[in-house]
């Protein structure tokens, strides 16, 4: 196997910065260093593009095309690609972005482009998409660039199965050319870590703690989770929602809600781990979700998970270590299943044991091992699948 399967990692931003793209490139690079790979980060400094973006948006508005979408424009891509030193284009260049760098440029400069994606651009621009609300002209051009990039990529890998299907359907990449490799959790356990003994019977001896992680608390289903908590109490189960990453003032005064505020995962790893292990079940009730990083983090901490089986999120909800619900399930129905699931102490212990067993699998070290095998042999013999019967590989 090549000692360094991936020679460089690119993202829109500094790939070595924990703040870039939820820390995913940072953790990939850290695992690569641990594996002995000589993988280097591409570093884009956003302040250098501040005025370029302003002038580009002004031009768009004056031409009647509307503002927004600078990072998908030729102006941005030309400038960003010019900022990367020539040596960093050589070897395999893995990018976490559909548009940067352009695949043709990587090939032209002596590199081999590979993509690792959580979703397609079209998913972001759907009427109920994750975030993007862009002018139609920008969307059309960005989709064209995405199609060109992925069709010419040496390797397209997605983080979940639904995205692999979307890449084939929306970008014209043959499905047999798209592989899925589950990423790792952005959580590093300390050396010699032992899973803590969890005291009491949740919901009886003490409140059942429903964990939540995320700054985008509305999209990630916190209001729904609060309704579930209220239903649990109505059904006679003591429950509490404990959250990290969100700080909406009005929720701080809500009964049964405890906020740990923002926890820096890189600078405060033990505080984040303590928060996760203090929960009985990690919850993510998004109606749309490209993956579900928080569910992977809970599993890495040995905590069972619960959420809606939608898009990439359903790949992170193992049947033996959590609760998976159809998107139309009501808060009352979710509460009923959670109440039943925590009614038997033996079942609670078994579910927790399964989550701890999955902990060793949801790591970036395992993810990079699969990448190395794929690039060396063209296939992965035993890829990590939390829900093997849900979707085919």
Q: How far from the centroid of its chain's Cα atoms is residue 354's Cα? A: 22
Residues 131-142 have a mean pLDDT of 82
Same domain for 223 and 105: no
CATH code for the domain in which residue 306 is found: 3.40.50.2000
> Which stretch of 53-67, 123-137, 301-315 has the lowest confidence by average pLDDT?
123-137
Q: How does pLDDT run across 186-226, given as a tens digit for each residue? A: 999 999 999 999 888 999 899 999 999 988 888 899 999 99
- pLDDT over 50 (residue 267): yes
Contact assessment for residue 374 and residue 181, using Cβ atoms and an 8 Å cutoff: yes
Residue 390 counted as domain residue: no
Residue 313 counted as domain residue: yes
Residues 329-335 have a mean pLDDT of 98
Q: How confident is the model at residue 253 (pLDDT cuts 50, 70, 90)?
A: low
Same domain for 172 and 35: yes
Beta strands 208-213 and 239-244, pairing class:
parallel
Same domain for 367 and 341: no
Q: For residue 156, list its beta bridge partners.
A: 115, 178
Contact assessment for residue 248 and residue 232, using Cβ atoms and an 8 Å cutoff: no
> Which stretch of 124-133, 312-321, 336-345, 374-383 has the lowest confidence by average pLDDT?
124-133
Same domain for 142 and 276: no
Q: What pLDDT does 280 receive?
A: 98
Same domain for 32 and 173: yes
Same domain for 278 and 229: yes
φ, ψ at 106 (rounded to 5°): -65, -50
Same domain for 281 and 367: no
Helix ranges (H only) for the chain are 24-34, 50-62, 74-82, 103-108, 121-125, 136-151, 161-171, 222-234, 269-277, 293-300, 331-341, 345-359, 364-377
The Cα–Cα gap between 141 and 163 comes to 20
Same domain for 330 and 369: no
Measured at the alpha carbon of residue 188, what is the angle toward residues 186 and 194, in degrees to the nearest 5?
130
Q: What pLDDT does 40 receive?
A: 98
How far is the CA of 195 from the CAs of 186, 281, 295, in angstroms? 17, 15, 17
Q: What pLDDT does 1 receive?
A: 44
- The DSSP call for residue 320 is G
CATH code for the domain in which residue 42 is found: 3.40.50
> Which stretch of 228-237, 255-264, 280-289 has the lowest confidence by average pLDDT?
255-264
Residue 196 counted as domain residue: no
Q: What pLDDT does 133 receive?
A: 75
Query: Which residues constitute the domain of residue 173?
Result: 8-184+363-377
Q: What pLDDT does 390 receive?
A: 44
Same domain for 225 and 98: no
Q: In the predicted model, what is the mean pLDDT of the chain?
A: 92
Q: What pLDDT does 319 receive?
A: 94
Q: What pLDDT does 282 receive?
A: 98
Longest Cα separation, the chain: 66
Residue 221 counted as domain residue: yes
Residues 50-67 have a mean pLDDT of 81
- Beta carbons within 8 Å of 240's beta carbon, 6+ residues apart: 207, 208, 209, 210, 229, 256, 257, 258
Same domain for 171 and 130: yes
What whole-number percentage of the chain has pLDDT above 70?
94
Same domain for 320 and 286: yes
Residues 335-358 have a mean pLDDT of 96
Residues 347-363 have a mean pLDDT of 97
Same domain for 21 and 121: yes
DSSP secondary structure, 234-279, as one string: HTT--EEEEEES---GGGGGSTTEEE-----TTT-HHHHHHHHHT-
- Beta carbons within 8 Å of 45's beta carbon, 6+ residues apart: 14, 83
Quote the tokens at residue 217: 């608390």
Into how many domains does the chain fold? 2
């Amino acid at each position: 196997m090549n000692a360094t399967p991936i020679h460089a990692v690119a993202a829109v931003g500094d790939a070595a910065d924990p703040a870039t793209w939820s820390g995913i490139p940072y953790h990939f690079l850290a695992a690569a260093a641990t594996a002995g790979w000589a993988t280097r980060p591409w570093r884009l400094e956003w302040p250098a593009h501040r005025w370029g973006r302003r002038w580009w948006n002004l031009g768009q508005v004056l031409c009647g095309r509307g503002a927004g979408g600078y990072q998908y424009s030729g102006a941005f891509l030309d400038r960003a690609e010019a900022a990367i030193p020539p040596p960093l284009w050589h070897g395999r260049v893995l990018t976490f972005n559909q548009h940067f760098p352009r695949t043709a440029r990587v090939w032209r400069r002596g590199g081999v482009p590979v993509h690792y994606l959580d979703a397609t651009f079209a998913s972001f621009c759907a009427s109920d998409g994750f975030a993007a609300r862009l002018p139609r002209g920008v969307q059309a051009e960005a989709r064209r660039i995405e199609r060109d990039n992925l069709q010419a990529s040496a390797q397209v890998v997605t983080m979940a199965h639904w995205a692999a299907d979307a890449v084939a359907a929306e970008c014209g990449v043959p499905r047999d050319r798209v592989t899925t490799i589950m990423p790792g959790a952005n959580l590093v356990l300390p050396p010699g870590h032992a899973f803590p003994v969890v005291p009491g019977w949740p919901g009886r001896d003490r409140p059942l703690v429903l964990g939540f992680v995320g700054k985008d608390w509305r999209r990630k289903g916190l209001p729904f989770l609060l309704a579930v908590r209220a239903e649990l109490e109505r059904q006679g189960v003591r429950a509490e929602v404990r959250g990290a990453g969100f700080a909406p003032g009005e929720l701080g005064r809500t009964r049964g809600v405890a906020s740990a505020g923002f926890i820096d995962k890189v600078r405060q790893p033990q505080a984040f781990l303590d928060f996760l292990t203090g929960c009985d079940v990690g919850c993510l009730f998004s109606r749309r979700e490209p993956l579900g990083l928080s569910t992977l983090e809970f599993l890495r901490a040995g905590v069972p998970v619960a959420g809606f089986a939608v898009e990439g999120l359903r790949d992170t909800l193992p049947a033996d270590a959590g609760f998976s619900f159809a998107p139309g399930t009501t808060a009352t129905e979710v509460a009923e299943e959670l109440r039943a699931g925590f009614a038997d102490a033996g079942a609670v212990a078994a579910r927790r044991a399964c989550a701890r067993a999955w902990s060793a699998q949801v790591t970036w070290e395992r993810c990079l091992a699969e990448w190395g095998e794929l690039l060396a042999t063209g296939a992965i013999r035993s890829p990590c699948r939390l829900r093997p019967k849900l979707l085919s590989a």
